Structure 1
Amino acid sequence: MSYNTENIRNIALAGHAGAGKTTLFEALLHAGGVIQTPGSVERGTTQSDTDAQEKARGHSIDSAIASIDRDGCHINLIDTAGYADFRGGSLAAFAAVETVAVVVNAAIGIEHGTRRMMEHARQRGLARVLVINRIDTEGTRLPALVDALREEFGPECLPVNLPAQGGKAVLDCFFQADGETDFSSLAAAHQQIIDQVVEINEATMGAYLDRGEASLSREQLHDAFEQCLREGHLVPICFVSARSGAGVPELLDLAGRLLPNPAEGNPPPFLNGEGEPVTVNPDPRQHVIADVFKIVNDPFVGKLGVFRVWQGTIRRDTQLFVDDSRKPFKVGHLFRLNGKAHEEIEQAIPGDIAAVAKVEEIHFDAVLHDSHEEDRIHLAPMAFPQPMFGLALTPRHKGQEQKLSQALARLAEEDPCLRTEHHKELNETVVRGLSELHLKVMVERMRERYGVEVDTHPPRIAYRETIAGRADGHHRHKKQTGGAGQFGEVFLRVEPLERGGGFEFVDEVKGGVIPNQFLPAIEKGVRQAMETGAVAGYPMQDVRVTVYDGKYHPVDSKEVAFISAGKKAFMDAVGKARPIVLEPIVDVEVAIPESSVGDVTGSLAGKRARIMGTDTQRGGEILIRAQAPLAELTDYPTELKSMTGGQGRYSLDLSHYEPVPPPVQKQLAEAWKPHVEED
């Protein structure tokens, strides 16, 4: 290994679909000497889009990793998916990098995905770089795009280089102060970014004001630049043409000279078992701490856990633990990933991205460590979008139920935004994802990878239940069967929590009328009742349950008796506490041609939607923001396609839960009655 932690750069390429991230990924690998010829998205020959679905669809679905060794610098690049349907893997990659390079299509400008990824990176405290791609496209108005970026994301967005020769080249304006560019004075751009950088700390600013720029060394400018990135005081703008290669070597130079290394980025948000911040030190001599940010089920090498090393050194034959497991595993093979290729390496130091194979205990977001002092440390969880779209699945061929279950488990391991559920009362397996496309790709992968074919139909909407009032409940469970009987009596109170409050179980039993060993049984009974609901068969939430009285028998009282008493006392209280059904309300963003605005807003209004606002995008596209019940959007993809001639697109994110209208609750309750009567 010819590099240390200070030489590592970890960069994720992110942005809207179609911005050219994968083409840029190829161009960077080519400029870095990793590949002889850049691959083509159209021909399906890229290093990153190797999955059959990616090749067939012509866009990324999973994140891909490759590394470049150039001028003593080791650059780990992660190419992420641009479609919002697959952003779970994109966001997961943010946990492994110091810098996010958000790629913008010069011909289109700021898009929805641009905003999303800039905001996610900002919230995570990552350095951000805006990379304007396709600068040689005829008719692009690059000065106007720079102005739009600064208006959208702040005046801290400043060019560090500028296009020249009609987009065939770029000129550095951070270290260079003269030259001919396509749209701006290089000297003026140089002065603007130097002024922005030097004001970050008093020492640099003082030297600059007293003795001028010539008094500042490149090291001082680098340190100030890096501090600006860390504190969000500067978002560099770079210009490239991934197709022609213009600006690509300069982007690699920028990474090596100015972007933060693992010791310079903002400290990762690690927490201990009590939720308190923990400092992780990028020291190769410390105990190992690594975070798994990607799982790959490879048909040749088995299950791969891809991780970022934050502390210590992982070597082949190292004994590692997964989370709080007391059984270690041995690192038999240590890999570096370059697209689909796996290169064996001897060790991984702090800042490295590497992988281990065939360790079944590894899972997404697992912490790998070599000392039980670290077995409760974990990376603060990221805010992934909630999977709201659902498909109910039935194996097309008899006897494949187990195979279906295993395939779903493997796919869910790889995707943090894929959930599987099994509804016992309906004998229905449901998979939930971010969109219709997300689930369609999952179903096709299940067929291609695991040979499982399924029939699909819409599942039940993920309604929830809660209560609107406070009430008391009581139940005495008494059963005599000849020998020792069963006895347990419970008095409890239920009351609503604020929306999103979850569940609270409170013990207010006095005088030992219910021994402490039976309280967990009562809670278990309550939780069982909450799983099946009280109105329409949906899980309950936002409820506080307080047990305050009861009775027990020194011989006949058993755990099973208090489970039953707790369950039925809870149902008794809920029935008097004005139970209500809650429906998921989603934030909807619909991008459409201007000519379709009337049809689309009218359609949304008919779906009980609230229009929150509209924005005009570059090129005249209209973005409509609304909130709507998810239940009203089950056929929306087809409707939107019809209304916009196939030009509309949309995304959903869970916002909150609201009570359903009374007629809807009545309808749901009536539909559930036959199931209750069967029980």
Structure 2
Amino acid sequence: MSYNTENIRNAALAGHAGVGKTTLFEAMLHAGGVIQSIGSVERGTTQSDTDTQEKARGHSIDSCIAGIDHGSSHINLLDTAGYADFRGATLSAFAAVETALIVINASNGIEHGTRRMMEHARERGLARVIVINKIDADGVDLAELVRAIRDEFGNECLPVNLPADNNNRVLDCFFHKDGKTDFSSLAEAHQQILDQVVEINEATMGAYLEDGEEALTPQQLHEAFEQCLREGHLVPICFVSARTRAGVLELLEICDRLLPNPNEANPPPFRDDHDVQISVEPNPSSHVVADVFKVINDPFVGKLGVFRVWQGTVRRDSQLYIDDNRKAFKVCHLFRLNGKTHVEVDQAIPGDIAAVAKVEDIHFDAVLHDSHDEDGIHLDPMHFPQPMFGLALEPKHKGQEQKLSNALSRLSEEDPCFRMEHHKELNETVVRGLSDLHLKIMLERMKDRYGVEVVTHPPRIAYRETIAGSAEGHHRHKKQTGGAGQFGEVFLRVEPLERGTGFQFVDAVKGGVIPGQFLPAIEKGVRQAMETGAIAGFPMQDLRVTVYDGKYHPVDSKEVAFVSAGKKAFLDAVNKARPVVLEPIVDVEVSIPELNVGDVTGGLAGKRARIMGTDAKHGGEIVIKAQAPLAELTDYPTELKAMTGGRGRYSLDLSHYEPVPPPVQRQLSDAWKPKLDED
């Protein structure tokens, strides 16, 4: 199919785990004529679950892209992971689409992942459509579920079609108002959604009030509908059964007729080096601007950078730049991804999703462009959850250290929530992810792909240090060993800053007692001390250092002398300023059966947790919200599984840092043996 930007629809299937997104993805590909038969999640034969771990576990870990030509539209459909452990890939997909199709299991109703994805999509300015799947399941009350959705997410959630014939098919209620449904009058549903749409626009509302529905042209209705989606004034609800395919073709019709194209959606949030929002227009003749939202290390075609074109046209054999790199690369291979298949194409226009191969410097969130006029621009980053779970690791077999490092780097390129750290003072490599399952999957992937096995053990918790008061410090560094010596003297002051502020270095030296060229050396010494900590060996934060006096020698003063003097003066001041150790506090959400509430809240209380509240959800599920020190949750996955018989699940997000209790600080300080550089 030949298409232009107006014909493109970009949509991501998102939602809680187990709602049937991958099966729906298969059913939509089949209904659109992309595949001849529908694959099975259980048998590992779907288009999207191609990874070894995905097939073995029966659920998605990564996102998958396929194109469907339906009606007058080319629909780029993305299937995403439902488990919170793999949110990085799901949120990355949101950076490439105009619409989020939030899938709900009709039997389970609104779940934890539903709320998260609705909120992420709203924050990103995406159009949202709620897709109720499994409408043919036994005992479902769809009318009650619609009421629950409207109670949870607002009255702007309205059905755009309705089930009929015992949920074996669905009837459109936006364009039509006649027909018999299973739980609501089609005419009533039609009137509700029509009233919601026309009130967004004064001209449309005026014409409707004056002459009725017949006065509205299809174009007026379409424009009003798009405005409602852009502004969140309407969240359509539609019904499907991916298993029986009821409503699947109708869902494709909704994508074709009602979803916004790249010209109609909210503008992409691009900014320049000065954090000023700039306009990027979907004009195929303009300079190229594209954003890399996914990286794949493919064993057959090499490294793939998957990108969304926002402006201009990317052509095979053209030259592109990565961010503000002055060196261009040639687009030797340009692919459109279609599930398991990579189809080589000649060009990608605004709105397209495509991929380039074998470009080693390409990275997640890179901006691709063809003119240095676009140097320094970037897309507003997604707000990814902070990876808080950690494992320290080392290769199982000696001599594989470099191979391990390379493998971890490749995996980090693919998942923005999987990170690698190397702690020099401990010579310890630590990987961090969103959960124990997330890390387990990544290490299994490393073994399968790169042949690297590791031995793991718990890492140190990411404590920090700061100060609770103000103090002054002083140090004179003086060495004389024959010939030119070393001399530098520094007086400085330390003060605490608000939590999360970071570090400030202030030059308050008067009269040239310390020449300006030595101030960077003093700051370097201070930063060295901050990296290794002052009382327990953890990095320092949230403080201001003001250098206000000192001395120098016209012959013996050197940079190295002021590095040492700055470091020692800083440590002198910190030890007088009531230093404290900070620990990471995380927001915990635990979803459990109602009968386990007492055990779980009691267990959290024993971990120094603060219970912030509980919510009763559909199906007897209780969500407990709490804040707890990360250090107390090391074994929580095992404990929660034991308390709930495997039915409990939880998620963590970094909230803030706060001081540890005094006994914990003493324990951490006693365990640390500081090793300061000898003069």
- TM exceeding 0.5: yes
Partner of 2:33: 33
In the alignment, structure 2 segments of 5+ residues that lack a partner are none
Offset, 1:678: 11
- Looking at structure 2, the residues matched to 370 and 520 of structure 1 have their Cα atoms a distance apart, in angstroms, of 38
- Looking at structure 2, the residues matched to 526 and 166 of structure 1 have their Cα atoms a distance apart, in angstroms, of 72
Offset, 1:23: 0.6
Within 5 A, what are the aligned runs for 1:274-423?
274-423=274-423
- AA at the equivalent of 1:556: D
Partner of 2:490: 490
Partner of 1:188: 188
Q: Deviations over 1:444-495 (max 9, x none)?
A: 1111111000111111111111111111122222223333322222222111
Within 5 A, what are the aligned runs for 1:91-130?
91-130=91-130
Partner of 2:18: 18
Partner of 2:238: 238
Partner of 2:61: 61
Q: Deviations over 1:559-579 (max 9, x none)?
A: 222222222221111111111
- Looking at structure 1, the residues matched to 251 and 281 of structure 2 have their Cα atoms a distance apart, in angstroms, of 29
Offset, 1:596: 1.3
Offset, 1:222: 0.5
Q: Answer whether contact 2:537 2:674 (CA < 8 A) is retained.
A: no
Q: Deviations over 1:339-376 (max 9, x none)?
A: 23111110111111111111111111111111111110
- AA at the equivalent of 1:225: F
Partner of 2:522: 522
Partner of 2:8: 8
- Looking at structure 2, the residues matched to 186 and 358 of structure 1 have their Cα atoms a distance apart, in angstroms, of 53
- Looking at structure 2, the residues matched to 366 and 244 of structure 1 have their Cα atoms a distance apart, in angstroms, of 41
- Looking at structure 2, the residues matched to 317 and 474 of structure 1 have their Cα atoms a distance apart, in angstroms, of 62
Q: Answer whether contact 2:487 2:557 (CA < 8 A) is retained.
A: yes
Partner of 2:462: 462
Within 5 A, what are the aligned runs for 1:492-507?
492-507=492-507
Partner of 2:156: 156
Offset, 1:198: 0.1
Q: Deviations over 1:619-657 (max 9, x none)?
A: 112111111111111011111111111111111111111
Offset, 1:304: 0.7
- AA at the equivalent of 2:264: E
Using a 3 Å threshold, how does the CA distance of structure 1 residues 279 and 415 change in structure 2: closer, same or farther?
same
- Looking at structure 2, the residues matched to 420 and 561 of structure 1 have their Cα atoms a distance apart, in angstroms, of 34
Q: What secondary structure does 1:364 align onto?
A: coil
Offset, 1:171: 0.3
Moved more, 72-81 or 220-229: 72-81
Partner of 1:451: 451
- Looking at structure 1, the residues matched to 300 and 332 of structure 2 have their Cα atoms a distance apart, in angstroms, of 16
Using a 3 Å threshold, how does the CA distance of structure 1 residues 496 and 674 change in structure 2: closer, same or farther?
closer
- Looking at structure 2, the residues matched to 15 and 606 of structure 1 have their Cα atoms a distance apart, in angstroms, of 32
Q: Deviations over 1:293-342 (max 9, x none)?
A: 11111111111111111111110111111111111111111111112311
Partner of 2:665: 665
- AA at the equivalent of 1:46: T
Cα RMSD, aligned residues only: 1.3
Partner of 2:569: 569
- AA at the equivalent of 1:302: G
Q: What secondary structure does 2:673 align onto?
A: helix
- Looking at structure 1, the residues matched to 476 and 343 of structure 2 have their Cα atoms a distance apart, in angstroms, of 65
Offset, 1:434: 0.4
Q: Answer whether contact 2:14 2:101 (CA < 8 A) is retained.
A: yes
Partner of 1:215: 215
- Looking at structure 1, the residues matched to 294 and 117 of structure 2 have their Cα atoms a distance apart, in angstroms, of 19
Moved more, 328-337 or 591-600: 591-600
Q: Answer whether contact 2:504 2:543 (CA < 8 A) is retained.
A: yes
Q: Deviations over 1:648-669 (max 9, x none)?
A: 1111111111100000000000
Offset, 1:674: 6.5
Using a 3 Å threshold, how does the CA distance of structure 1 residues 82 and 285 change in structure 2: closer, same or farther?
same
Using a 3 Å threshold, how does the CA distance of structure 1 residues 528 and 674 change in structure 2: closer, same or farther?
closer
Using a 3 Å threshold, how does the CA distance of structure 1 residues 253 and 62 change in structure 2: closer, same or farther?
same
Partner of 1:430: 430
- Looking at structure 2, the residues matched to 170 and 481 of structure 1 have their Cα atoms a distance apart, in angstroms, of 90
Moved more, 484-493 or 657-666: 484-493
- Looking at structure 1, the residues matched to 663 and 678 of structure 2 have their Cα atoms a distance apart, in angstroms, of 24
Percent identical residues: 80
Q: Answer whether contact 2:30 2:37 (CA < 8 A) is retained.
A: yes
Offset, 1:676: 6.5
- Looking at structure 2, the residues matched to 258 and 435 of structure 1 have their Cα atoms a distance apart, in angstroms, of 38
Partner of 2:594: 594
Q: Deviations over 1:30-78 (max 9, x none)?
A: 1111101111111101111100000000000011111111223111111
Q: What secondary structure does 2:268 align onto?
A: coil
Q: Answer whether contact 2:509 2:548 (CA < 8 A) is retained.
A: yes
Partner of 2:652: 652
Partner of 1:641: 641
- AA at the equivalent of 1:576: K
Q: Answer whether contact 2:403 2:452 (CA < 8 A) is retained.
A: yes
Q: Answer whether contact 2:522 2:565 (CA < 8 A) is retained.
A: yes
Q: Does 1:77 align with 2:77?
A: yes
Q: Answer whether contact 2:468 2:577 (CA < 8 A) is retained.
A: yes
- Looking at structure 2, the residues matched to 396 and 429 of structure 1 have their Cα atoms a distance apart, in angstroms, of 13
Offset, 1:428: 1.2
Q: Does 1:473 align with 2:473?
A: yes
- AA at the equivalent of 2:217: S
- AA at the equivalent of 2:474: H
Q: What secondary structure does 2:221 align onto?
A: helix
- Looking at structure 1, the residues matched to 284 and 401 of structure 2 have their Cα atoms a distance apart, in angstroms, of 47
Using a 3 Å threshold, how does the CA distance of structure 1 residues 17 and 164 change in structure 2: closer, same or farther?
same
- AA at the equivalent of 1:647: R
Q: What secondary structure does 1:487 align onto?
A: strand
- Looking at structure 2, the residues matched to 275 and 476 of structure 1 have their Cα atoms a distance apart, in angstroms, of 42
Q: Answer whether contact 2:133 2:240 (CA < 8 A) is retained.
A: yes
- Looking at structure 1, the residues matched to 512 and 312 of structure 2 have their Cα atoms a distance apart, in angstroms, of 51
Partner of 1:44: 44
Q: Does 1:171 align with 2:149?
A: no
Q: Answer whether contact 2:198 2:208 (CA < 8 A) is retained.
A: yes
- AA at the equivalent of 1:376: G
Offset, 1:401: 0.8
Q: What secondary structure does 1:673 align onto?
A: coil
Q: Answer whether contact 2:288 2:370 (CA < 8 A) is retained.
A: yes
Structure 1 residue runs of 4 or more that deviate by more than 3 Å after TM superposition: 674-679
Partner of 1:536: 536
Q: Deviations over 1:191-232 (max 9, x none)?
A: 000000000010000000000000101111010000000001
Partner of 1:548: 548
- Looking at structure 2, the residues matched to 483 and 246 of structure 1 have their Cα atoms a distance apart, in angstroms, of 90
- AA at the equivalent of 2:567: K
Moved more, 165-174 or 521-530: 521-530
- Looking at structure 1, the residues matched to 650 and 600 of structure 2 have their Cα atoms a distance apart, in angstroms, of 11
- Looking at structure 1, the residues matched to 289 and 169 of structure 2 have their Cα atoms a distance apart, in angstroms, of 42
- Looking at structure 2, the residues matched to 484 and 420 of structure 1 have their Cα atoms a distance apart, in angstroms, of 43
- Looking at structure 2, the residues matched to 229 and 13 of structure 1 have their Cα atoms a distance apart, in angstroms, of 17
Aligned length: 679
Q: What secondary structure does 2:620 align onto?
A: coil
- Looking at structure 1, the residues matched to 483 and 79 of structure 2 have their Cα atoms a distance apart, in angstroms, of 68
